[in-house]
Amino acid sequence: MQRVSFPDGTSVPALGQGTWKMGEHRGSRRTEADALRLGLDLGLTVIDTAEMYGDGGAEEVVAEAVDGRREEAFIVSKVYPHNASRRGVAAAAERSLRRLRTDRIDLYLLHWRGGVPLEETVAGFEDLREAGKILRWGVSNLDTDEMEELFGFAAGRCCAANQVLYNPEARGIEFDLLPWCRTRNIPVMAYSPIGQGGRLLRNAALRAVADRHGATPAQVALAWALRQPGVIAIPKASDPAHVRENAAAVRLALTPEDLAAIDRAFPPPARKRPLAML
């Protein structure tokens, strides 16, 4: 599997696992943890979660999934904007650590921009990093101008990742944000890489490409995202079949003809677009 490196040299597989909507129902948590554990077996060691998901329930699912296997997993979690003050982020991180049943978070992200100044949030992140509670920090749903603002102060340049919406239906980041991050060796984490609600997977162009390769539209969408260097895709899957389907996408090599067909269906951006968010 191809790998992506963070600014500190740590590398992770380019395909990981998401947990949005996990942990919302206690009766489903064992099945969800089993799915994440299968993903670990298949090399999908990046597991993305957040204090928002299931009101912390998703973090508890992750804890169950990595029980006895913590060293294999690269855990990413996110803090609410309203918890992102210097003191608030310290308290939020402690709560996440308890739910995750771990002593450190590998990558801790600001979930989206709120009312707290970025410089204050970064100061809180740096406190946590110096204490060993988090190993690196980053942001989510920040556009290019906000990344420029972040890099306007010295500690902001320690940002290790930006997690944004990216799939063929939402490819505006290709115009400016993706190149900006790439030149600074900042990985982009692609959330919802196979879209939401199934509309993307019903697209005729993706289905035609999938048919040519004996693959599924979801695998085509993942392979499309992974064609970009420096991108980590984090699809969510709650059942074994979908986990295996996602993992197999790393073996799918799209041809120039495939990419051209997808471009015709979903034209690449020719100008700056507002950052798409879910």
Q: Distance between CA atoms of 73 and 59, rounded to whole angstroms?
A: 13
Q: What are the residue numbers of the active site?
A: 53
Query: Taking a C-beta distance cutoff of 8 angstroms, is the pair 73, 19 a contact?
Result: no
Parallel/antiparallel/unpaired status of strands 11-13 and 3-5: antiparallel
Owner of token pair 């197999």: 248
Give CA torsion, residues 210, 215, 221, 225, to 10 deg: -120
Q: Distance between CA atoms of 10 and 125, rounded to whole angstroms?
A: 18
* Length of the chain (residues): 278
Q: Distance between CA atoms of 192 and 170, rounded to whole angstroms?
A: 10
CA-nearest of 257, 184, 186, 254 to 221 is 254
Letter string b/e over residues 75-107, b meaning 16 or more CB atoms within 10 A of that residue's CB: bbbbbbbebbbbebbbebbeebbebbebebbbb
CA dist list (Å): 35 to 10, 25, 253: 25, 15, 25
Q: Distance between CA atoms of 69 and 100, rounded to whole angstroms?
A: 12
